[in-house]
C-alpha cells in the first residue's frame, strides 16, 4: 500500500493534517507496515531531555518489511542491480527472492560468529551488493551496524571501533575505484591492531589481491556463506531498539555516533522515498551515493527496498573510464529516478555536453540533488542537458541526524525554483529563529533553521554521550531541534538553505568538523597552531582552507605543506585533506584568545573589504600579514 501524494492540493491537505493531528497522521502511515505487535502509544517526547519515542512497545523487524512482505507479490522483481566499476565486467541483479536468501544465509553466518542482538558490527566495504546484504543481515539478527566509508584512514576507523565497542568487522580484500585498486584489508588490519573489542573479521573477496589472513580472526565471506541455510527467523525488535550508528563530523574533534532506531526510521524513509521521488511500482531508481553516508543508508538500501523498488548500486566514479559513465548507466538500465550530488554535477559540467551526446536519457522522469544546496548554474545545466527540460529536479535538504529528506519538492507536484529546497514534507514543522531566540513569522525572512516537533526518522541520541546530543542539537533554542543551517523563506514561503552557521564545512556534500581537521593538522610535529575554514570551491561546493603556524626547521614551505596534507590523509582520510594551506605568522585572536574565524573565512573567500573592525584584536597587524600571504 502506498501513501503517495498525487497533487499539490493533496500535499497541502496532507501537510495540514500532519501539523494539526501529527499522531493520527503518522499512525495512518505506519499502519501499512508489518508489525509483530502494534504500538501502545504513538509518541512520547520532550526536546529538553531530549527524549523521543515513536510507536512505543511496538515489535517488528525491518527486514521482514523488506523481504517477507515482498516475497509472494514481487519476489521476481529486481531489488538490487549492481553495476561494477569497470564497464567490461558483468553486473549482477538480485531479485527480492535472491536478496531474501542471501540475507538469511548471512544472518546465519553472523549467528555462527557469535553476533547477537545489541552487538555492534562495523561495515567497511566497497559498493557491492554484499554491503547491503551485510546491513540487512545485521538488522535481521538485531545487531547494530555502523557503516564506515571505505575511504577513511585506519585511525578514523579505529576511533569508531573503540567508540561503539565493535565485536565484528565486515570488509573486503580491496576496492576498485576508477583506475585505482585500494588495499582496504590492510587499513582494517592496522585499525584492529590498535583496538581490543574485535573478535572476528569477515573479508569479502573483490579484487583477489594478496592479503594477510590471521588464523582465528579473519574469515572469507564466501567460505562462511557456503552451505548456510537459506532461511532465518528474524529477531523481534522493539520500535525504539537501535538499528544503526552512523558517525558524522562534529564541531569538536571527536566524531559523533548518530543513533537511529528501528520503527520510526523504517516508517519515515519509505514515506519520504515514495513521495519525494514519486516512485511507481516497476520504476528503476538510482542513487549514486556510497553506503558509508546516510544517503546510501536511507535512499539506496532502506527507503527503496521498503517500497519494493529496484535500486541500482554503482561501484565506480562518474568519470571512469570516461565522463559519460553516469549517462551510459542511465541508458543501460532505463533509469527513471536519478539522485546525485551537486559536486558530481559540477564536475561533469566541466566536461561540457559532448560526453552526454551519445546517450538518449529518455527513460529519466525525475532528477534529484543531495548533500548541499545546489547552485543555480548547476541546477540549470542539470535541468537542461540531463533532464532535457522535462524532468523535475528534487533539491533535497536533510541530514545524517534527520534520517530522511525534510525539505524538498515532490517530483512533478511542487513547482520548483532553482536553488530552493521549496517546502517541508508532511510531518515536518519548521521554524526560522533569530539569534535572540525569537521565531520569525511570515515570509521574506532569514535566520536559523529549527524543527519544533519530532518526526519518526530523527536521531534519538549520540552513542555513549547523550549530553553531547543535547548540547549539539537541542540547547541553542529551547524546545527545538537546531539544524545548524541558515535559511531564507522567500515571499512565496519557499525555503532556501544557506549552509552551515557553525564550525562545520560541507565538502562535496560530506560534513567535516573544522576541529577534527585542525586536530589532525596539529599532529604534525612542526605545527604550533592551526585554524581551518571553508571557502567557495567551484566543484566541491566548499573547500578546506587551513591557516597554519609552523616551526619551519629548515623545511621549505612546499615540503611542509605536503607533509601536513599527508598527516591529515593518514589520520582522517583523503576526503579531509585541505585544498589550500597558508603558513602564517599568527592568527587573528581576541584578547581572551578566541580565534576570529569570521575574519579568516572572509580572507579565504576574498571578501577583504568587509572584515569589520579588527582594532579589538590582540594583534591587529597579523590580519594584514595573512592577507598579504593569501594562497
- CATH number of the domain encompassing residue 144: 3.40.50.980
Residue ending a domain, choose from 190, 215, 242 = 242
pLDDT-based confidence at 510, cuts 50/70/90? confident
CATH assignment at residue 536: 3.30.300.30
Number of domains the chain contains: 2
346 located within any domain: no
Question: DSSP assignment of 61-96, as one string?
Answer: -TTTTTTHHHHHHHTTSEEEEEE-SSTTS--EEEEH
The least confident of 41-50, 186-195, 211-220, 508-517 is 508-517
**What's the rounded mean pLDDT across residues 568-589?**
92
The least confident of 1-15, 99-113, 212-226, 299-313 is 1-15
598 located within any domain: yes
251 located within any domain: no
Q: CA 202 → CA 124, 170, 219, 310, distances in Å? A: 10, 5, 5, 27
**Can you tell me which residue has the cell 530552493?**
420
144 located within any domain: yes
What is the per-residue pLDDT across 156-188, written as a single tens digit (0 to 9) for each? 899 999 999 999 999 999 999 999 999 999 999
Give the span between the Cα atoms of 337 and 205, in whole angstroms. Answer: 31
Instruction: Tell me the residue range of the domain where 228 lies.
Output: 92-242
Question: DSSP assignment of 504-535, as one string?
Answer: EEEETTEEEEHHHHHHHHTTSTTEEEEEEEEE
pLDDT value at position 616? 62
71 located within any domain: no
Written as nine digits, the cell of 227 is: 552451505
Written as nine digits, the cell of 619 is: 594583534
The enclosing H or E element of 369 equals strand 366-369
Residue ending a domain, choose from 176, 211, 242 = 242
The enclosing H or E element of 273 equals helix 262-276
Give the span between the Cα atoms of 124 and 161, in whole angstroms. Answer: 11
Cβ atoms of 146 and 166 within 8 Å: the answer is yes
**Can you tell me which residue has the cell 548471512?**
106
Written as nine digits, the cell of 127 is: 559498493
What is the per-residue pLDDT across 47-104, written as a single tens digit (0 to 9) for each? 999 999 999 999 999 999 999 999 999 999 999 999 999 999 999 999 999 999 999 9
Count of helix runs (H) and strand runs (E) in the chain:
19, 30
pLDDT value at position 558? 93
Q: Where are the beta strands (DSSP E) in 58-216?
A: 59-60, 78-83, 92-95, 120-124, 144-147, 168-172, 175-177, 180-182, 200-204
82 located within any domain: no
532 located within any domain: yes
What is the per-residue pLDDT across 5-45, written as a single tens digit (0 to 9) for each? 999 999 999 999 999 999 999 999 999 999 999 999 999 99
Residue ending a domain, choose from 242, 257, 278 = 242
Written as nine digits, the cell of 60 is: 517488528
559 located within any domain: yes
DSSP at 474: I
Amino acid at each position: 500500500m502506498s501513501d503517495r501524494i498525487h497533487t499539490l492540493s493533496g500535499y497541502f491537505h496532507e501537510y495540514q493534517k500532519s501539523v494539526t493531528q501529527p499522531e493520527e497522521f503518522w499512525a495512518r502511515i505506519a499502519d501499512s507496515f508489518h508489525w509483530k505487535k502494534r504500538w501502545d502509544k504513538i509518541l512520547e517526547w520532550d526536546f529538553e531531555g531530549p527524549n523521543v519515542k515513536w510507536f512505543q512497545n511496538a515489535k517488528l523487524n525491518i527486514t521482514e518489511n523488506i523481504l517477507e512482505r515482498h516475497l509472494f507479490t514481487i519476489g521476481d522483481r529486481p531489488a538490487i542491480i549492481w553495476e561494477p566499476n569497470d564497464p567490461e565486467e558483468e553486473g549482477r541483479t538480485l531479485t527480492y527472492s535472491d536478496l531474501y536468501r542471501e540475507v538469511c544465509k548471512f544472518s546465519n553466518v553472523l549467528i555462527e560468529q557469535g553476533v547477537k542482538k545489541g552487538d555492534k558490527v562495523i561495515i567497511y566495504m566497497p559498493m557491492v551488493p554484499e554491503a547491503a546484504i551485510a546491513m540487512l543481515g545485521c538488522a535481521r539478527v538485531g545487531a547494530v551496524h555502523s557503516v564506515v566509508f571505505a575511504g577513511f584512514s585506519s585511525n578514523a576507523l579505529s576511533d569508531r571501533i573503540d567508540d561503539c565497542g565493535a565485536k565484528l568487522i565486515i570488509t573486503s580484500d580491496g576496492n576498485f575505484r576508477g583506475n585505482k585498486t585500494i588495499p582496504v584489508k590492510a587499513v582494517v588490519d592496522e585499525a584492529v591492531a590498535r583496538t581490543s573489542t574485535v573478535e572476528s573479521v569477515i573479508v569479502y573477496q573483490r579484487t583477489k589481491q594478496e592479503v594477510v589472513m590471521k588464523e582465528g580472526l579473519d574469515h572469507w565471506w564466501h567460505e562462511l556463506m557456503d552451505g548456510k541455510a537459506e532461511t532465518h527467523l528474524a529477531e523481534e525488535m522493539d520500535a525504539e531498539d537501535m538499528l544503526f550508528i552512523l558517525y558524522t563530523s562534529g564541531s569538536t574533534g571527536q566524531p559523533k555516533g548518530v543513533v537511529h532506531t528501528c520503527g520510526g526510521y523504517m516508517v519515515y524513509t519509505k514515506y519520504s522515498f515514495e513521495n519525494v521521488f514519486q516512485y511507481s511500482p516497476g520504476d528503476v531508481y538510482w542513487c549514486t551515493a556510497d553506503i558509508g553516508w546516510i544517503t546510501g543508508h536511507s535512499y539506496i538500501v532502506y527507503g527503496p527496498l521498503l517500497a519494493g523498488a529496484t535500486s541500482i548500486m554503482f561501484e565506480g566514479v562518474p568519470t571512469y573510464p570516461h565522463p559519460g559513465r553516469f549517462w551510459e548507466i542511465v541508458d543501460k538500465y532505463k533509469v527513471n529516478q536519478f539522485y546525485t550530488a551537486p559536486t558530481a554535477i559540477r564536475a561533469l559540467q566541466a566536461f561540457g555536453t559532448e560526453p552526454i551526446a551519445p546517450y538518449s536519457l529518455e527513460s529519466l522522469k525525475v532528477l534529484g540533488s543531495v548533500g548541499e544546496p545546489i547552485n543555480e548554474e548547476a541546477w540549470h545545466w542539470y535541468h537542461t542537458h540531463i533532464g532535457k527540460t522535462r524532468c523535475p529536479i528534487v533539491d533535497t535538504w536533510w541530514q545524517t541526524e534527520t534520517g530522511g529528506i525534510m525539505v524538498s519538492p515532490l517530483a512533478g507536484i511542487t513547482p520548483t525554483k532553482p536553488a530552493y529546497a521549496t517546502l517541508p514534507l508532511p510531518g515536518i514543522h519548521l521554524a526560522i529563529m533569530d539569534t535572540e531566540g525569537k521565531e520569525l513569522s511570515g515570509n521574506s525572512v532569514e535566520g536559523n533553521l529549527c524543527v519544533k516537533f519530532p518526526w519518526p526518522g530523527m536521531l534519538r541520541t549520540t552513542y555513549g554521550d547523550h549530553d553531547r546530543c543535547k548540547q549539539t542539537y537541542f540547547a541553542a533554542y529551547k524546545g527545538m531541534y537546531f539544524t545548524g543551517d541558515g535559511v531564507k523563506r522567500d515571499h512565496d514561503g519557499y525555503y532556501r538553505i544557506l549552509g552551515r552557521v557553525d564550525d562545520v564545512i560541507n565538502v562535496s556534500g560530506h560534513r567535516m568538523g573544522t576541529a577534527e581537521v585542525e586536530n589532525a593538522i596539529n599532529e604534525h610535529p612542526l605545527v604550533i597552531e592551526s585554524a581551518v575554514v571553508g571557502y567557495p570551491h567551484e566543484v566541491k561546493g566548499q573547500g578546506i582552507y587551513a591557516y597554519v603556524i609552523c616551526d619551519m626547521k629548515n623545511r621549505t614551505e612546499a615540503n611542509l605543506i605536503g607533509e601536513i596534507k599527508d598527516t591529515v590523509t593518514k589520520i582522517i582520510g583523503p576526503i579531509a585533506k585541505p585544498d589550500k594551506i597558508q603558513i602564517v605568522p599568527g592568527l587573528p585572536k581576541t584578547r581572551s584568545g578566541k580565534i576570529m574565524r569570521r575574519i579568516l573565512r572572509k580572507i579565504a573567500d576574498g571578501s577583504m573589504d568587509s572584515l569589520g573592525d579588527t582594532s579589538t584584536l590582540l594583534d591587529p597587524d597579523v590580519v594584514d600579514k595573512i592577507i598579504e600571504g593569501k594562497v
